[in-house]
Structure 1
Amino acid sequence: MSDPKNIVLDDDPTGSQTVHSCLLLMQWDVETLKEGLADDAPILFILTNTRALTPQQADAVTREVCRNLKQAIAQSPVEDFLVVSRSDSTLRGHYPIETDAIAEELGPFDAHFLTPAFFEGGRFTRDSIHYLLVDGEPVPVHETEFARDSVFGYSTSYLPDYVEEKTKGRIPASTVERFVVADVRQGVEERLLHLQDNQCGVVDAENQADLDRFAADIRAAASQGKRFLFRSAASLLTALANLPTQPVSAEAMGEYIRNHKPGAVLVGSHVKKTTEQLSYLLKESGVAAVEVNVSHLLQDSPMERDALLKSLLDQVHTAHQKGETPVIYTSREEITFPDVTTRLEFGVAVSRLLMDIVRGLPDDIGFLISKGGITSNDVLSDGLALRTARLLGQILPGVSMVRTPTDHPQFPDLPVVLFPGNVGGADAVAEAYRRLSRDVDSSGITV
């Protein structure tokens, strides 16, 4: 029996950050899904962007994808598949809304597993506690800024308690099946075969070999008829896909840039790490800072918004004509909101402005770097209006590059870097910029 197809519903476009040479789908009509299922790659990503949506919208989108998937699978040669609800490695996202919806639409499943480890980003799970490396030291994620997220906040890093908290007691911590490191390394196939009724399990992993072993046991159990669902960060996907080394190394990805031209950088994420990375990037030679003041965006009239957009695009084109790479970033001050709905409305307004900027970029830019998960999703699906994109691989650990189709009406064959907000050291965005700019001098002339 062949290995199952790995179908990933990705709540932002950065979940493919550990694999390569597969399709990302920005649409999920039945025909597009059939195209993805027919692709030779063992893994397929459907970019739902649900982390940017309300709980009700996330539920509706997830169900729509699953219903269309059911039709597409029935019309495709795919016989066996695993479903992954890919989410953030710092435990943010619509859990259990999305896994509940998937289970109801594509189930029944024997179990669903939380596997939040993402080693390239310094996240691992030990004794069912999820950690994030901060300056080389492991910190339980509930002690980080991510746990204080105004939409997806939580109070514990102990995953059984996290499950109980997020399910409002529907799944008590005492009933969660724990797969600790010693179990995983010894092998858990026999335990997997006894799971039923969508049992919730949480999985330790301290390195990629742990998830490789777990994935092998999952495949073995699946081959015997067991059906599993995953709420996972990216590192499990590496194990499930089991791909060879990417065709072009991270250091050599500058060969993808178009005509040795300077590019553009778009920064939407507001996490502390992004702000630090932005400050390093702005010190690089050949960049031009273009700040987008978004503080009054919800109050601005349409005329004021249009004037702001024109001013920003004028700065972008002026920089490009000088052979510089414009770094377009939203203002960094903290903005408070009276409620979650207003915060989400603000996010939509910011995204619309940024996507108007993307559409107004010079047609001959050499590359585009998009910083932030939701920003990157909007760049692909709205700013570039892509239906599908081919993932080239990673330019840095956890940082993917895709390329637009050759027949794109505005930006054909444009390499686009999808840079998660919470990934990389202080110099990481600057390093990605340098790798893509080595063949361009300060005047934009090939060297």
Structure 2
Amino acid sequence: MNHSSNLTAKATFASLPAVPDERAVNELLADELLDFNKKIIVLDDDPTGVQTVHGISVYTDWSAESIELGFAERNSMFFVLTNSRGFTAAETERAHKEIAKVIQETAEKQNKEFIIISRGDSTLRGHYPLETEVLKNTVEAHSDMKFNGEVIMPFFKEGGRFTINNNHYVQDEDALVPAGETEFAKDRTFGFKASHLGDWAEEKSNGIFKADDAVYLSLESIRDLDFDGLVSQLMAVEDFNKVIVNAVEYVDAKVVVIALIRAIKAGKQFLFRSAAALTKIIGGIDDKPLLTKEELMKEDSGHGGLIMIGSHVKKTTEQFEALQTCDFIEFIEFDVHLVLHPNKFEAEIQRVIEASEQLIRKGKTVTVYTKRERLDLGENKKEEELKLSVKISDAVTSIVKQLEVRPSFIIAKGGITSSDIGTNGLGVKRATVAGQVKPGIPVWLTGGESKFPGMAYVIFPGNVGSKATLKEVAERMHQ
């Protein structure tokens, strides 16, 4: 990682314009939300996007039935888990066409206006700009709606993701590392070079959208509470050009949302590509303390819990190493490289299930982790590697699916892992977000239709928390 262009967090934050009075901003925001009568639909490319909300429904499919239930809720906002970060480009395109069509048809039936937020990764990985392009084109083809612009807002304070002077940073202790210089930018499927968000949109769109054509909402204007200036910048956006949001604190994002709502009420149409902070603000979700053990563990079955670790990012590996110091956990390595030998792989899956069941019944918490070395097929094998990783993910999921014993809780580490376990392993169709067990780490309460109804299911993103966070969560859940 090249640290030459890093900033130091403390000094950088201290040099920014003064933060405005949050109470006054909260009042203005509440006023704007009062008559903002639109259904907010958040399409989540993995299940970690609910990491700032509580009391909100997550639907794990996009059938007309699920979308209608979402529209019928009293809540202004609901989430649809697309899990598209684990999809190929073709699968992503197909899914987003279907989703946009169902949303558009449901909205017409119920005579309700809507906005769509495409919730992506705060370190800029994912199928961008494909997802928002498909949503835009499909909605426009099936209605008389025209999108003027796309708002890009990867700010996510809980994860240490900040946008300053139009550059996006990932905090690593006291260093602010430009996003384009992090391990996330080297992602085999979703890699990128630019940290400047205008340049990033230009890079990802292969030059179709120019950084020079983007509108930049500066921290100076935001912290001056220059609403008129911000709104007039937004009113000028045309041709689906990009709106780049700078933000370091939640109050910055709140100011921007006030300006956005005013522009929308004045007739502008935006699509959103954002991390998880925007959803909390535009959904009018209040702060809630972290979940207590009592809220998480409703009944004592005497069984142990289950922790599933699939993510391979450096942070997960560090957190896993800290977890290994817990004496109340038994560890089972799942040799996923056997995926190349189907018979051996099937036998390995059965071995892991049997060992896990025996231990959970005895009251032991079990951690099943995939072999830490990545399966590398060599150059130009991206799609093949993605297909194998789907097979591996299916196998991890099948471990939960085939469990005959109900664990006292389940923690899944990594976005794609937790999505597959939630939808396929646990069979969840609609979950309620209970809140967070640690900042940025959401907990689902599984629906009555699922394999283990009413279970606390902890969705632990691959790249959130400190080295000790996974261990701390396991200790909290351990009875």
TM-score tier after normalising by the smaller chain length:
over 0.9
- Other-structure match for 1:444: none
Which position in structure 2 is the counterpart of 1:332?
Answer: 372
1:32 to 53, 58, 66: 66
CA contact (8 A) 1:399 1:419 kept: yes
**Greater CA drift, 275-284 or 264-273:** 275-284
Report what 2:176 is aligned to: 138
- 1:222-237 aligned within 5 A: 222-237=264-279
1:415-439 CA-to-partner distances (Å, cap 9, x unmatched) read: 10111100000011111112212xx
- Deviation of 1:355 (Å): 1.1
Aligned-partner SS, 2:336: coil
**Are the aligned partners of 1:251 and 1:435 in contact in 2 as well (CA < 8 Å)?**
no
**1:285: Cα distance to partner?**
2.6
Q: State the alpha-carbon separation in 2 of the partners of residues 418 and 171 from structure 1.
A: 35
User: Which amino acid in the other structure matches residue 432 of structure 1?
Assistant: V
Aligned to 2:21: none
Counting only pairs closer than 5 Å after superposition, residues 4-403 of structure 1 correspond to structure 2 as 4-76=38-110, 79-107=112-140, 108-185=146-223, 186-187=226-227, 188-246=230-288, 249-260=289-300, 261-297=303-339, 299-301=340-342, 303-338=343-378, 339-403=381-445
Quick one: distance in 2 between partners of 1:306 and 1:155? Answer: 39
Distance 1:285 1:255, change over 3 A: farther
What's the counterpart of residue 9 of structure 2? none
Aligned residues of 1:31 and 1:72 also touching (Cα < 8 A): no
Residue segments in structure 1 that go unaligned for 5+ positions in a row: 441-447
Report the residue type matching 1:330 in the other structure.
T
- Asked if the contact 2:360–2:405 (Cα under 8 Å) also holds between the matched residues in 1, the reply is no
Which consecutive unaligned segments of at least 5 residues does structure 2 have?
A: 1-34, 141-145
Cα distance in 2, alignment partners of residues 153 and 406 from structure 1:
39
User: Match of 2:315, SS?
Assistant: helix
Aligned residue pairs: how many? 432
Instruction: Tell me the CA shift for residue 262 of structure 1.
Output: 2.3
Q: Give the match's secondary structure for 2:46.
A: coil
Letter in structure 2 aligned against 1:393: G
Report the Cα distance in structure 2 between the residues aligned to 1:362 and 1:17, rounded to whole angstroms: 29
Question: What is the one-letter code of the residue matched to 2:46?
Answer: D
Q: How far 1:253 moved relative to its partner?
A: 4.1
Contact 1:254/1:436 (<8 A) preserved: no
1:426 is matched with 467
Q: Does 1:404 align with 2:404?
A: no
Q: Structure 2 CA distance, aligned partners of 1:366 and 1:227? A: 46
Partners of 2:431 and 2:413 in 1: how far apart?
18
Which TM-score applies when normalising by structure 1? Answer: 0.93
Distance 2:237 2:384 in 1: 42
Q: Within 2, Cα distance between the matches of 1:131 and 1:242?
A: 26
How far off its partner does 1:46 sit?
0.9
Partners in 2 of 1:325 and 1:436 — Cα distance? 10
Name the SS of the counterpart of 2:473 in structure 1: helix
Tell me which residue corresponds to 2:28.
Answer: none
Structure 1 contact 320–362 (Cα < 8 Å) conserved = no
Distance 2:36 2:172 in 1: 41
Q: Give the superposition deviation at 1:193.
A: 2.1
Q: Work out the CA distance in 1 between the residues paired with 2:52 and 2:174.
A: 21
Q: Secondary structure at the match of 1:139?
A: strand
Is the 2:231–2:263 contact (alpha carbons within 8 Å) kept by the matching residues of 1?
yes
Please state how far the C-alpha of 1:233 moved relative to its aligned partner: 0.6
Residue matched to 1:445 = none
Retained in 1: the 8 A contact 2:338–2:345? Answer: no
In structure 2, distance between residues paired with 1:60 and 1:420: 26
Q: Is the 8 A contact 2:117 2:274 kept in 1?
A: yes
Q: After alignment, is 83-92 or 334-343 more displaced?
A: 334-343
Q: CA deviation at 1:142?
A: 1.1
What secondary structure, in the 3-state scheme, does the structure 2 residue paired with 1:114 have?
strand
Residue identity (%): 33
How far residue 254 of structure 1 moved from its aligned partner, in angstroms, is: 4.0
Measured on the aligned residues, the alpha-carbon RMSD in Å equals 1.5
Q: Which amino acid aligns with 1:395?
A: V
Provide, for residues 57-116 of structure 1, a one-character-per-residue CA deviation record: whole Å limited to 9, x for no partner. Answer: 111111111011111112225x33221111000111111101100111124211101101
Return closer, same or farther for 1:99/1:160 CA change in 2, 3 Å cut-off: same
2:204 partner letter: K
Give me the whole-angstrom Cα distance separating, in 2, the residues matched to 1:276 and 1:431. 13
Give the match's secondary structure for 2:138. Answer: helix
Deviation at 1:335, TM superposition (A): 2.5
Are 1:416 and 2:457 counterparts?
A: yes
Which ranges of 4 or more aligned residues in structure 1 deviate by more than 6 Å? Answer: none
Answer 1 or 2: which has greater helix percent.
2
